[in-house]
Structure 1
Amino acid sequence: MAENSQPDVTKDIPKIDLSDSIREFSGQNSDYYVDTLSQIQATGENLNIWNKAALLCGPAWCAARGLWNLFWLFTIAELVALVQLGKGIWGDLGASKMAEAEQLAKRAHDLRLEAGVAGATGDESAESSAEIAMNLEKAAELAIQDAQTAAGTWWLYLIAGIVLYVVLRYVLGKFANRLYELQYSAWRLNKKIASGFSLQRLTIALVILAILVPLTLYRFTVSSPVHWLVDVPVDNAYYTNSANALEGWFDRTAEAGKGVFDGITAGAQSVLDAMELLLVDAPWPVVAVFLVVIAWRVASIRVAIFTAASLCYIGLLGLWEASMVSIVLVGAAAFFCILIGIPLGIWFSRSEKAYAVARPVLDLMQTIPPFVYLIPIIAFFGTGRVPGILATIIFAMPPVIRLTALGLRQVPSTVVEAAVAFGATKWKILVGVELPLATPAIMTGVNQTILMSLSMVVIASLIGAKGLGQEVLTALQYVAKGQGILAGLAILFCAMMLDRIVQGRFQRQEDQ
């Protein structure tokens, strides 16, 4: 048995004395933190040692010790607790319902007077006015009952506030040392992390609390707070003047650049006409066979079967022409995105300065709601299919740019150096080495661009792009639930067809 026993190697590991390091980190009250943090470092567990300063001071302790994330977390949580306490102690819980009851009663009184005058003159509306007044009086009575019920729940808010506040302080006092130990561990790796007890940080925290707590309590516990606390006290003229200035600029720019905008429209329209000739004007059996064969040859037989099934669904429901129009719009938008996006991605992969300038623009293109794009598009290009394509291009182009740049940046430098050693020119390196190795990333960007273009069909239909988006928009206007679901599923199948074909081609290349 003794031969099988394993030696205890842990006792041979020298223990590191962290006392001086902890004293340097903690500053004030260092003896307490030397003892506490050393034990936590040794055991790796949260000790049953309460941090009284954290328990009593709450978020102020967090700020003084540089735990700003913890400060904001507990400040917001304690504000919620204090608001509940305020509502329970002095809040007028039924004020809003009582004000509603007063308005209803006043309206009912006015209608009663109108009914009396109408009855005296023999007007037929007297009876309906009296009936409406009676209904308003009943609604006012219900509002008064709701106000009385709400006023009687003050004790629930009081108990909830007390319990929440106590629990928050309990959690902070219980786990403050453990959280402070995590900050200490991070500080050992990076001395720039906040350490010690800072009166400056404490003062900043107290000022923040002195502003946030009273204003928040006043806003949520008083039935009628002052208007400047609820609404920003600014003159509406700023908004009106800014809007008028922008509108004037759009009008002047549209007039000055009319030739450029007409040229862009003509170029996009020519691409649309060519694709419509192939997919919309051609006989539907020819188009169906063409799409199935493309899916088979580019991807696989399984993708071809799925494409055929999707086309059957679209055709049987009478959505063939709308679906082909949507595919044309998506195809044209994707064509321009790829035509412009891949060269830009190549440029950005070469120039860090250019990419640094373009990155915020790409962020804006993906962050701004698509509806906002429609405003300048309509101002410069009017309405119709071409403006819908242009709005789609703005929304869908960033992925192919980003992923092209990313794929080229990830090409191993050793491969490029080997090509240079064999005498390859920059163009040969780009076309024969870098682009083939970056193809997975580029194809992912193309796929994302296609799907994002298809997601714009409904929004683009708002400015006359038509297609399946028009079907969904009509269903929304007339609350035609069945029509909307069927058109939405057609959009889904179009997206899945395009995705399977693109991904299938990429998967086949990987398998080979």
Structure 2
Amino acid sequence: MNAHDPVAVQSIEHAQAAEEGLVREFVLRNPDYYIDVFARIRRASGAVWPFNLAAALLGPVWAAARGITLLFWLIFFLETLAVVQIGVGAAGNLGAGEQARAERVTKQAQVRAEQAKAAEAAGADNAAGLKSSAAALEKAANTARMRADAAKAKAPVVIGSGIVTLLFARLIAGFLANRMLERRFARWRSNPTLQRGLNHPLALCALAFCIAAYGLSVYRFAAPTPAVWLTAAPSNREWQAALSSGLDSLMGAVSHLGEGFFGGITGAISLVLDVLAYGLTGMPWPVTMAIILALAWQLAGPRVAIFTAAALAYLAVLGFWEKSLETVALLGTSAIICLAIGIPLGIWCGRRPRVYAAVRPVLDFMQTMPAFVYLIPVIALFGIGKPPGVIATLIFGTPPVVRLTALGLQGVPPAIREAAQAYGATRWFLLTRVDLPLAMPSIMAGINQTILMCLSMVVIASLIGAKGLGEDVLNALQYAAVGQGLLAGFAILLCAMIIDRIVQGRTR
């Protein structure tokens, strides 16, 4: 483009005028300054850090007024540390703990010295021991006083470090403010609903919040004996006891009313477990091993078959064969049930966003709740043994396959689905021949994660009577048998790897 072309020059001037108008509309206050700063940032070939004096003076209040959340919290935490250092140093309580200890030990030394005098006057045999104890206590008190004096002498250093931290926080605010505001301006241009200008109510709230937080923090750390309401959260043990009693009664009532239903679920799971366990352990071990190797070769190839042979040899030679088959039965039952529930539910969620929005909080709860917590209601409703272990594993292992199946279906390109529909594809054909094949990598990742989740519950389920290799690991933990625990842990790992390699190999 010719720089002397009047049309080109007019076009450039028009673009600059439009840009300046947008900056004025965005910042509202002091627009000329920000027009120049934003232009410098955009024209620079490298990183430039123009200093914003208003941001350096006002700190987090300026960041809140401009809606820059990250800068607000960064400066707030640095300033909180700074004011606490300044307050602790100015209060002169740096050696308060050692001073209190010195006074306490001094009183003990005086009491011990009086006991020594009385024992010496009475001619008791322990007089020398009491004198020695009194001297040791006096020495400890002197040491505590020296430490307290040394801590008090550090007060100017602590105050100085607090001032340096405060200045550092304000310098960060000054140097980061313009670049962060320019990035926010770029986002505002594509999304005009973002805040622009100065938000004065939010700035006042930020100011009040900072004053309260700084004051309470300084009082908490600088006061010799801060108020109890500030150091300990309010609690009501009576409410806790009442809620616990109510939950106990509720679980008891549910268990009693649904005894037949829960018994039916336990029986069905026990039937599947018994069939798998009998099929794996009932046949001669060479036949079972040969079947597993043949499946590995056919479904995943020779490399996986060689790995499977080595893993099975490890299990057999070290005496983990029978318990490994029990673990595989438990793991297989859990995985089968997880996939039988998770894949259809994931398909439904993938095609119905409202259903996924309703199911997502439940999946979050199932994944974030600690695994040990699952065991409490499971034991109350289903008792102990392998079926409750399968149910606890089911709760923990189902969410990944649901999420990844839904994610895979949502990622199918709409153009492909529209083309299939244009050629007259039915809903079933669209699902089985278009959606599922294209979503299969994500679905297989969900299956992999479910298998690993079920594996991680093997040891935890052994706490409620689910036997297998998890029992060996649990015994090793109880008796500190490190070697036994490591060998059993490797056996669990190999079982899961065999299953995962065969399943993933079939997909490839």
| TM-score, reference length from structure 1 | 0.85
CA deviation after TM superposition for structure 1 residue 255, in Å: 0.6
CA deviation after TM superposition for structure 1 residue 354, in Å: 1.7
Distance 1:365 1:267 in 2: 23
- In structure 1, the partner of 2:21 is 20
- In structure 1, the partner of 2:474 is 473
- Report if aligned partners of 1:22, 1:30 keep a CA contact under 8 Å in 2: yes
AA at the equivalent of 1:204: C
**CA offsets, 1:423-444, max 9 Å, x none?**
5543344334433333322222
Change (3 A) 1:95 1:190: same
Distance 1:365 1:459 in 2: 16
- Show the 5 A alignment for 1:431-450: 431-450=432-451
Q: In angstroms, what is the RMSD of aligned CA positions? A: 3.6
Of the structure 1 ranges 309-318 and 358-367, higher mean CA displacement relative to structure 2 is found in 309-318
- In structure 2, the partner of 1:33 is 34
Change (3 A) 1:197 1:422: closer
- In structure 1, the partner of 2:125 is none
- Report if aligned partners of 2:404, 2:446 keep a CA contact under 8 Å in 1: yes
Change (3 A) 1:426 1:222: same
- Report if aligned partners of 1:269, 1:386 keep a CA contact under 8 Å in 2: yes
Distance 1:8 1:415 in 2: 48
- In structure 2, the partner of 1:367 is 368
- In structure 2, the partner of 1:376 is 377
- Report if aligned partners of 2:71, 2:177 keep a CA contact under 8 Å in 1: no
Of the structure 1 ranges 300-309 and 277-286, higher mean CA displacement relative to structure 2 is found in 277-286
Of the structure 1 ranges 420-429 and 462-471, higher mean CA displacement relative to structure 2 is found in 420-429
**CA offsets, 1:485-511, max 9 Å, x none?**
22222222222222222222222xxxx
- Report if aligned partners of 2:29, 2:197 keep a CA contact under 8 Å in 1: yes
Distance 1:198 1:413 in 2: 42
CA deviation after TM superposition for structure 1 residue 97, in Å: 4.9
Percent identity, aligned pairs only, is 46
**CA offsets, 1:196-241, max 9 Å, x none?**
2332222111111121110111122234321111222232222221
- Report if aligned partners of 2:71, 2:173 keep a CA contact under 8 Å in 1: no
Q: Which runs of 5+ in 2 are unaligned?
A: 118-128
CA deviation after TM superposition for structure 1 residue 450, in Å: 0.7
**CA offsets, 1:239-281, max 9 Å, x none?**
2211211111111101110100000000000111011112234
Give the number of aligned pairs.
496
CA deviation after TM superposition for structure 1 residue 20, in Å: 2.8
- In structure 2, the partner of 1:122 is none
SS in 1 for 2:12: coil
Of the structure 1 ranges 414-423 and 438-447, higher mean CA displacement relative to structure 2 is found in 414-423
SS in 2 for 1:224: coil
**CA offsets, 1:392-424, max 9 Å, x none?**
000100111122223333344455455555655
Of the structure 1 ranges 98-107 and 39-48, higher mean CA displacement relative to structure 2 is found in 98-107
- In structure 2, the partner of 1:339 is 340
AA at the equivalent of 2:294: V
SS in 2 for 1:83: helix
Distance 1:234 1:148 in 2: 38
Change (3 A) 1:341 1:79: same
- In structure 2, the partner of 1:217 is 218
CA deviation after TM superposition for structure 1 residue 156, in Å: 4.2
CA deviation after TM superposition for structure 1 residue 468, in Å: 2.1
- In structure 1, the partner of 2:493 is 492
- Report if aligned partners of 2:27, 2:34 keep a CA contact under 8 Å in 1: yes
Change (3 A) 1:82 1:259: same
Distance 1:350 1:247 in 2: 40
Distance 2:181 2:276 in 1: 64
Distance 1:293 1:166 in 2: 71
Change (3 A) 1:154 1:479: farther
- Show the 5 A alignment for 1:96-107: 96-97=97-98
- Report if aligned partners of 1:61, 1:202 keep a CA contact under 8 Å in 2: yes
- Show the 5 A alignment for 1:252-271: 252-271=253-272
SS in 2 for 1:374: helix
Distance 1:394 1:67 in 2: 40
CA deviation after TM superposition for structure 1 residue 103, in Å: 7.2
SS in 1 for 2:336: helix
- Report if aligned partners of 1:84, 1:158 keep a CA contact under 8 Å in 2: yes
- Report if aligned partners of 2:49, 2:179 keep a CA contact under 8 Å in 1: no
